[in-house]
Chains A and B, each alone.
Chain A
Amino acid sequence: MNRNNRMRIGRRRFLKQAGLTLIAAGSAPMLSTPFVSRAMADTKTLSIVQWSHFVPEYDKWFDQFAKDWGTKNNVEVAVDHIPVANVAARAAAEASAQSGHDLFGWNGAGGAHLYRRFLVDVTSLVEATEKKYGKVSTIGRQIGYNQDDKTWSAFPDFYISFPAMYRKSMWDEIGMKPDTWDNVRLGGAKLKAKGHPVGISLGHSNDPNTTWRGLLWSFGGALQDAEGKNVVLNSKETVEAVKYVTALYKEAMTSEVLSWDDSSNNRYLVSGIGSLIVNPISAYRTFQKANTKGADDTFVIAPPKGPVRQIMGGASEFYGIWKFAKNKEGAIEFLKYYADHWPEAFKASEGYNNPCFANLVPKPMPILSNDPTSTPSDKLTVLQDSEQWSASPGYPGPSWPAVDEVYNDFVICDMMAKAASRQMSAEDSVKWAHQQSDAIFKKWHEKA
């Protein structure tokens, strides 16, 4: 038999060899099953889903952190990051299907109270963490805590504060500091004339929902009362706040703000046009990467004071464990470990994630008290006390489904925008928003 004959693959040879291969492939799982299944039984899995963080380095840190925890505990951890706008739809899909990730990370409004019937009670976990790291801040409590039965349906992770960021050289030039809303309007008008308007969105997104609520509260107005029973929007204070926004829009801003999304004000600041924005420090971090000189000229201060108080909206982040989760114990253990290593998360987020437990990151906080990337290095110090001026959308009452729906329908944003763009008078705009909110509250009072 020559070499060519040996190499030739005949029909008979092909069938024989293919048959043997199939038998081998088919029998392999049967032979290996006892070993593999034992190994699989020893290795548990934990799946986590959360939003894609605005500081990408944080996601990298978290993925590695979760993986390392998994290796130590013989748990296979999978972390999925989804766009922030998809969080609500994903939660609804998982709750409807009664299947999905073990640990669900919510962002901003909604979640813990809306899905409380689907979530594991984590009261003991929160209480144990409080014992270790101090009381939960007001903003952390407003989202995850159920006032009616004194339980926690979610574990507070962090909150995002909304300080004001201004171009120091521009404001110095007019001899003003934007520390009060009045100064923002007066100084903003002068700077607009110089081609540097104020940039606060009046569009439909999270930033305006948060910022205009803060302004409303600082004027003494609010959406609901402290018990969350009644809509109290139609008040003298709210009308004053809306009149102020109308003036601010006319005198210190441009019509661009009506179309903005959450990233527009960041771009406005980085472009060198905007003289002031109200935003989480991700805008400042973006500026640092794009233009160090411009970022050095950008200063971060507490939100401007209103006639009644100094306060601003904030966004809470929290983890829920589904009742249908396959590894509830693993999820709880992971959260305990995560809380114990929370200062690392704080550093990885470059000071973006603010702690919900009082002593989780003792003051002076790393990065915020001394940020080597900032000039001067104490520029972010004011953020250490941000829990004193940050509140969740339900303030002064609890966050509950009606508050969320008012938020998701952009009622407060539209109340401001309709008056600012002269579609309605301030009084009519407030009446319209009150009517909308009242209908939503009545509906949820019937359903809740």
Chain B
Amino acid sequence: MAVIAEPVAKPISRFRFVLDRRDVLETVMVAPAILYVLLLVGLPLLLAVFYSLSAYTIYNPTWKFVGLANFEQILQNPTFLDTLRNTFVFTFGSQLLGLVLGKFGAFLLLQPFPGRKIVRALIILPFAVPVALATIAWQWMFDSLYSVINWTMIAAGLVTREEAPNWLGNPYLAMLCIIIINAWRFFPFAIVIFLAGITAVPQDVIDAATVDGAGFWRRNYQIILPMILPMVAIGLIFGIVFTFTDLSIVFLLTMGGPGGATSVLGFEGFQTGIVSGDVAHGAAISLFMLPVLLVVVIFTLRFIRRREI
């Protein structure tokens, strides 16, 4: 008679037993992310709130509480309201242009053509190029003396040198320039979002709509777009948050000029808080972004929840 050895049960370690509990494991897995957010987002935010309510400057680093005096002083400055308006125009202008370009780009890249894969890889370049390099390249394109855009227009006989647009010297054109650059940076991201959304729409839905007589525009704007809207909205939240808080393009291209026409909140906060050393005012200027972004995010997330299929 064969004797089969019974397996000896190994003692289960206490650690393994604890990790077998679902709630504990969940907490352990989520903890790094929560810690990350608390340390790198929560703490600086709290610090910014403290700064904005204090009289803290680099000259006199005091935590003396001044209540809402910093906010009051900022609101009394008419230039600040211009800055706030510029920030809205810059953010929503560039997002709108980026979305339109993204939608067209996605449609183009859905069509089969030779080298499509290479084009799809290249289209992501503006998103991957460091902002400093990209902005310097754009600066040369908008340069008052050596603008390649103006040079082309002059060579084509469209304008004379005197009539050529003064891209960064005209307040409206300067705003348009920073919008174009930001839209150029954002549109590859929009293309990716649109491509992912459009390819996720079931083919039978599109076929059914085609059989029912829906043409190109109706299919796109009454079938596909409503279905991918939640995904686009998430992309838009990213775009708005990053643009609203951005100062790099303005800092590198216009320094807020001409005459303050392109000064945005991020730039103003940096100039006041870091360059001029008035940390409390700089923090207060930066915190003006918070309620705006909060409203945008809440509104968009509620919209997405309602639209979820």
Contact = CB atoms under 8 A, between A and B. Distances in A.
Contacts of B168: 203, 258-259
A110 B77 contact: no
Given A89-B274, A89-B275, A255-B166, A116 B258 contact: no
Contacts of A261: 255
B55 A259 contact: no
A90 to B, nearest CB: 10
Interface stretch (B17-25, B56-64, B211-219): B56-64
A271 interface: yes
Q: By CB atoms of chain A within 10 A, which of B143, B270, B276, B278 has the most?
A: B276
Contact of A114 (B58, B142, B145, B257): B58
Nearest to B173: A259
A409 interface: yes
Interface residues of B, number: 39
B77 A436 contact: yes
Interface in B253-271: 254-260, 270-271
A77 interface: no
B258 A204 contact: yes
B220 interface: no
Interface string B30-58: 00000000000000000000000001011
Interface string A184-205: 0000000000000000001111
Given A113-B59, A255-B170, A414-B260, A408 B275 contact: yes
Given A110-B276, A408-B276, A443-B278, A117 B258 contact: no
B281 interface: yes
B73 interface: yes
A117 B59 contact: yes
Interface string B259-302: 11000000000111011111001000000000000000000000
A268 B144 CA distance: 10
A448 B59 contact: yes
Given A258-B257, A259-B144, A404 B281 contact: no
Contact of B277 (A114, A414, A423, A446): A114
- Dominant secondary structure at the B interface: loop
A236 B257 CA distance: 27
A401 B258 contact: no
B81 to A, nearest CB: 13
A115 B277 CA distance: 9
A205 to B, nearest CB: 6
A418 B270 CA distance: 23
Contacts, number: 129
Given A89-B274, A89-B275, A267-B145, A256 B169 contact: yes
A258 B166 contact: yes
B240 interface: no
B258 A264 contact: no
Contact of A92 (B166, B167, B277): B277
A203 B145 contact: no
B145 A273 contact: yes
Count chain A CB atoms within 10 A of each CB in B58, B76, B167 and give the residue with the most: B58
B152 interface: no
B174 interface: yes
A419 B226 CA distance: 50
Given A423-B259, A443-B281, A92 B274 contact: yes
B59 A114 contact: yes
A259 B146 contact: no
B199 interface: no
B79 interface: yes
Nearest to B276: A405
B255 A204 contact: yes
A119 to B, nearest CB: 11
B70 to A, nearest CB: 9
Contacts of B60: 117, 447-448
Contact of A203 (B55, B143, B257): B257
Contacts of A116: 59
A80 B145 CA distance: 33
The residue in A258, A436, A439 that gathers the most chain B C-beta atoms within 10 A of its C-beta is A258
Contacts of A260: 144, 169
A405 B58 CA distance: 13
A95 B56 CA distance: 14
Interface in A249-273: 254-261, 264, 267-268, 271, 273
Nearest to B165: A255
Contacts of A115: 58-59, 277
A110 B275 contact: yes
Interface in A228-285: 254-261, 264, 267-268, 271, 273
A417 B174 CA distance: 15
Given A114-B58, A268-B145, A448-B59, 17 more contacts: A88-B274, A92-B58, A92-B277, A110-B277, A115-B58, A203-B258, A259-B142, A259-B168, A401-B57, A401-B59, A408-B276, A409-B271, A410-B255, A417-B259, A436-B79, A447-B60, A448-B57
Interface of A: 85, 88-89, 92, 95, 110, 113-118, 202-205, 254-261, 264, 267-268, 271, 273, 401, 404-405, 408-410, 413-414, 417-418, 421, 423, 436, 439, 443-444, 446-448
29 contacts: A89-B270, A92-B274, A92-B275, A110-B276, A110-B277, A113-B59, A114-B59, A114-B276, A115-B58, A118-B58, A202-B258, A204-B258, A256-B166, A258-B170, A258-B259, A259-B166, A259-B258, A264-B143, A264-B144, A267-B145, A409-B272, A410-B257, A414-B259, A417-B257, A423-B259, A443-B281, A444-B57, A444-B278, A447-B278
